[in-house]
Amino acid sequence: MSIARRGMLALVGALGIGAVAASAPGVAQAWEPQKPVEFVIMAGQGGGADKMARLMQTVIEKNGWSSKPLTPINKPGGSGAEALVHLKTKGGSDPDHTIMVTLNSFYTTPLRQPGLGVDIATFTPIARMAEDTFLLWVHKDSGITNIEEFVVAAKEAGNDWVMAGTGKLQEDQLLTDFLNAAYGLNMKYVPYKGGGKVAKQLAGQHANSTVNNPSEQEGFYASGDTVPLAAFTPDRLELFPDAPTFRELGQDFVYFMQRSVVGAPGMSDEAAAYYRELFQKVYESEDWQAYRKKKSLYGDFLSDQALMDYWMTEREIHKAMLSEMGAL
Amino acid sequence: MESILLSLSGGLLEAFQPLNLLMIVIGCVVGLFIGAMPGLGSVNGVAILLPITFLVPPNAAIMFLAAIYYGAMYGGAISSITLGIPGASTAVATVFDGRPLAIAGKADQALTAAAIASFVGGTVSVVLFTLFAPPLADFALRFGPPEEFALMVLAFATFIGLGGDDIPKTIFSILIGLVLATIGLDIISGRPRLIFFDISGFMHGINFLVLAIGIYGIGEMLWTLEQTEGNVIVHKVNMSWRAFLTNLGHVKYYIKTTILGSILGYFVGTLPAAGATPASLMSYGLAKTFSKDPESFGKGNVAGVAAPEAANNAASTGSMLPMITLGIPGSPTTAILLGGMIIWGLRPGPLLFTEHPDFVWGLIGSLYVANAFTVLINLAFIPLFVRVLTMPFTVLAPIIFVLCVVGGYAPSQTMHDVWLMLLFGVAGYLLRKLNYPVAPAVLAIVLGPLAEQSFRQSLLGSQGEVWIFFERPISATCIAIAAALVLYPVLRGLRKPAKAQA
């Protein structure tokens, strides 16, 4: 019986007797991990980065692409400072078995906290898996349907207009600052601990607006509770065809959240090549492509030097944004 | 109503499918042991076993994970009671009275009470879930920062009496907890606070389980070693059918507390901010406040075991409500479940009930089934668990020590936390020698960060206007109840001046 068989499989797995990862047949690898690979997640459980990391891990385990398991560990402390320092430390002891899923605090945290002694240029670029998008959201009961009405309402409310976002001096606040500057607003930024919490503040009308990723708001969007006004993307998103881009609205501003995998500094070339190939397979897998499409993700696969160049460009952009905010 | 019953019977049928039933039973057993192992809580269990669920259809997978979650809530009580080490953060309050009962040779009583209370908690909450899911989801949305803060004030108020007679020492203990709670990154200002010696391990703050395992596990072990001066002590354990039936008969002593704790736990669990740990602590505090014999709490009162256990099981079901209806996790474990649901191609959120009714009702049905199975399995295993206590303490102490170290290491996998745990253990032992209550410190480190964040978020939104807490109906109600709770023991004390003097 196939059902009984599947049940047995699950039983064996559940009891931890059978390891899930079977060794992959096929191309002989020059380098293979010798022990479980630490898969650090630079954000808390349940957030956008965490969800994607667990999807990557699942794809790898489902297909048996790694002879040793990847063990995810969340290190959200200090806007990722804890994770960055951890990776740097691992670079000294065991650079070949530590990789990390990272986001834009990869640029901003070392810039804001030079005391950490973290230079991302020394880290090992593995793969950029996607770029997540941002939109400006309001609650449907506000009656606001486009950016002009938003500007009028936010201007009138002045500093009483609450913009909820994730963390301090991170992505959401950069976008809030952009909106304040571009439209002459004085919105109040209130930080929360994760994108899901932020989305809920808007749905419960404890905030007037947010700049959530699509995956964070799509449930409330589907039920008609929240409305996307405009997207911080070059083109309109398939998911939200009625939301114009800020470019269309005459503001040349585009902003993405990187979803990348980075290795510890000092990783051997063989190990780096192994991980690059592994994540390229993940990127090309049906599961990942389907997820990309469903969440309207941008950003093609980048690796090696191209990824490092991308990081250096982004770091300069974030440096400029942060110094404009007076945060450096 | 009829449509609910119809959907529910469909869900129950789904849960009784052979594969699903098998997954539920395995999940309950695995969860029970995961919960009983210090350091391995439902979060780790669900995270580790998530990939395995890709071998079965989503319905069976969610039932499996929910059963683990559920079983772990029962299991947490086992090590809390038998070893005095909280098996999971949700079972910390269970140590308060569970451990004294075990030392008094009544571990079987405590374990039975924990199992029964968990069963009642689970049943009450799943019934509430079945009947009131959509309206409660709306209610949970109305909880903004001011309401969350008011709820935290209420939680602190339930603990007024927790420290016993010495009020200054209780306040001191709370303050220690609050200071420890501020360590790490402050999310409002984005700045690190109290990073001692620039050790990066402090960046993620003090994990409260590290504190609890240190104080209760290591501290308790040191205390017992000192008391017995190394003499071999073996607890007597009664394991006959008659004792079992007598224990079941004790339900009458704690059934009221249990039902109160269940309703409270469910309600607190549905709020995205809180979860099962604050719920269990609040339930314990309330049970003590309204007990006829509050002095016996902390010294081995079965109601003190039943109250947090009812609440943490109720809250675990409750926290699935915002996950399913709003797509927002009510606890770290449901955050991982949520990740799983997304990978299975489901979209948690307001439309899940209408888009995938078979999935949602199957899950609800499985909760009824899991609940029944777990209580049976748990009761059946009690003789095995209490056998632990028949070991001489000279054998038990090293085992406790190893489990504490593992429990301190597992959540963040850093030695930093192990050192901290040992430090807290020694500090906890000294505090106990000096007669300081430690439970208030544990409470403060759980609730402190939640209270601080919501307080500051509220004031940011209101331009510093404190009236925001009194203007909004829900938060005003919470604060009024909190005030009443603070005054209640005072008034009771005034009415019985003679007893208070004694």
What would the pLDDT profile of B291-316 be if each residue is shown by its tens digit? 888 788 888 889 999 999 999 889 88
Residues A146, A182: one domain?
yes
Residue A8 lies in a domain: no
- Residues of chain B with Cβ-Cβ distance to A210 below 8 Å are none
Is A81–B192 a contact, with Cβ atoms under 8 angstroms apart?
Answer: yes
SS3 (DSSP) at A64: coil
- The complex scores an ipTM of 0.76
Phi/psi-derived region of residue B304, left when phi > 0, alpha when psi is between -120 and 50, beta in every other case: alpha
A135-149, B328-342, B464-478: the lowest-pLDDT one: B328-342
pLDDT of residue B464: 84
Among A215, A231, A247, which residue terminates a domain?
A231
Residue A67 lies in a domain: no
Q: How many other C-beta atoms are found inside a 10 Å radius of the C-beta of residue A154? A: 23
- Residues of chain A with Cβ-Cβ distance to B56 below 8 Å are 6-7, 10
pLDDT tier at A11, thresholds 50, 70, 90: very low
A162-166, B190-194, B275-279, B448-452: the lowest-pLDDT one: B190-194
Which residue among A89, A190, A204 sits closest to B457, beta carbon to beta carbon? A190
Residues A52, A125: one domain?
yes
Is A73–B56 a contact, with Cβ atoms under 8 angstroms apart?
Answer: no
Which pLDDT tens digit goes with each residue over A178-201? Answer: 999 999 999 999 988 777 788 888
Residue A1 lies in a domain: no
pLDDT of residue B17: 87
Which residue among B53, B189, B336 sits closest to A45, beta carbon to beta carbon? B336
pLDDT at B215 over 60: yes
pLDDT of residue B237: 63
**CA–CA min distance A245, chain B (Å):** 25
In the predicted model, what is the mean pLDDT of chain B? 82
pLDDT at A99 over 80: yes
pLDDT of residue B449: 84
A86-100, A299-313, B188-202, B367-381: the lowest-pLDDT one: B188-202
Q: Percent of chain B beyond pLDDT 90?
A: 10
Of B145 and B136, more confident:
B145
A1-5, A48-52, B204-208, B481-485: the lowest-pLDDT one: A1-5
pLDDT tier at B232, thresholds 50, 70, 90: low
Residues A119, A54: one domain?
yes
Is A77–B23 a contact, with Cβ atoms under 8 angstroms apart?
Answer: no
pLDDT of residue B186: 78
**CA–CA min distance A271, chain B (Å):** 23
Q: What residues have CB less than 8 Å from A94, skipping those under 6 apart?
A: A264
CB B166 within 8 A of CB B440: no
Q: Give me the number of domains chain A comprises.
A: 2
Is B349–A193 a contact, with Cβ atoms under 8 angstroms apart?
Answer: no
pLDDT at B351 over 60: yes
Of B124, B63, B64, B430, the C-alpha closest to B283 is B124
Q: Percent of chain B beyond pLDDT 70?
A: 91
| CA nearest to B459 within chain A | A190
Phi/psi-derived region of residue B297, left when phi > 0, alpha when psi is between -120 and 50, beta in every other case: beta
Of B230 and B15, more confident:
B15
Residues A141, A169: one domain?
yes
Residues A128, A199: one domain?
no
Which pLDDT tens digit goes with each residue over A15-37? Answer: 443 333 334 444 455 789 988 88
SS3 (DSSP) at A32: coil
pLDDT of residue B138: 78
CATH of the domain at A120: 3.40.190.150
pLDDT tier at A273, thresholds 50, 70, 90: very high
Q: Mean pLDDT: which of A3-7, A272-276, B198-202, B246-250 is highest?
A: A272-276
Residues A158, A299: one domain?
no
Mean local confidence (pLDDT), A73-81:
77
Is B18–A162 a contact, with Cβ atoms under 8 angstroms apart?
Answer: no
Residue A29 lies in a domain: no
pLDDT at A10 over 60: no
pLDDT of residue B272: 66
Which residue among A50, A188, A220 sits closest to B339, beta carbon to beta carbon? A50
In the predicted model, what is the mean pLDDT of chain A? 85
Residues A121, A48: one domain?
yes
pTM over 0.90: no
pLDDT at B251 over 60: yes
Of A40 and B235, more confident:
A40
Residues A115, A154: one domain?
no
The number of CA neighbours under 13 Å toward the Cβ of A233 is 27
Residue A50 lies in a domain: yes
Which residue do the tokens 């604060």 mark? B479
pLDDT tier at B160, thresholds 50, 70, 90: low
| CA nearest to B335 within chain A | A46
Of B141 and A186, more confident:
A186
pLDDT of residue B262: 93
CATH of the domain at A163: 3.40.190.10
pLDDT of residue B236: 63
Mean local confidence (pLDDT), B5-30:
88
Q: Mean pLDDT: which of A156-170, A204-218, A273-287 is highest?
A: A273-287
Residue A31 lies in a domain: no
pLDDT of residue A24: 43
- Residues of chain A with Cβ-Cβ distance to B185 below 8 Å are 77-79, 81
pLDDT at B456 over 60: yes
pLDDT of residue B164: 59
Residue A210 lies in a domain: yes
Mutation target to probe the A interface, by most A beta carbons within 10 A, among B23, B193, B200, B463 is B200
Residue A262 lies in a domain: yes
A96-100, B228-232, B259-263, B346-350: the lowest-pLDDT one: B228-232
| CA nearest to B188 within chain A | A191
CA distances from B39 to A76, A219, B275, B389 (A): 19, 34, 18, 20
- Residues of chain B with Cβ-Cβ distance to A73 below 8 Å are 412-413
Residues A84, A109: one domain?
yes
Among A214, A231, A248, which residue terminates a domain?
A231
pLDDT of residue A139: 95
Beta pairing, strands A257-263 & A226-231: unpaired
Say what angle helices B18-36 and B42-49 make with each other, to 10 degrees. Answer: 130
Residues A174, A312: one domain?
no
pLDDT of residue B124: 92
**CA–CA min distance A214, chain B (Å):** 12
Is B190–A191 a contact, with Cβ atoms under 8 angstroms apart?
Answer: yes
- Residues of chain A with Cβ-Cβ distance to B26 below 8 Å are 10-11, 14
B113-122, B271-280, B451-460: the lowest-pLDDT one: B271-280
Residues A272, A320: one domain?
yes
pLDDT at A149 over 90: yes
Q: What residues have CB less than 8 Å from A252, skipping those under 6 apart?
A: A246
Buried b (16+ CB within 10 A) or exposed e, A25-59: eeeeeeeebeeebbbbbbbbbbbbbbbbbbbbbbb
Mean local confidence (pLDDT), A152-170:
90
Among A197, A231, A265, which residue terminates a domain?
A231
pLDDT at B451 over 90: no
- CA–CA separation, A283 and A277 (whole Å): 10
pLDDT at A123 over 90: yes
pLDDT tier at B500, thresholds 50, 70, 90: very low
Residues A145, A127: one domain?
no
CA distances from A72 to A45, A59, A62, A113, A305 (A): 10, 13, 15, 25, 26
Could you list the residue range(s) of the whole structural domain that residue A217 is in?
A: 135-231
Which pLDDT tens digit goes with each residue over B382-438? Answer: 888 887 777 777 787 888 888 888 888 876 777 888 999 999 999 989 988 888 888
Considering only CA atoms, give the Rg of chain A: 21
pLDDT of residue A179: 93
Mean local confidence (pLDDT), B19-29:
90
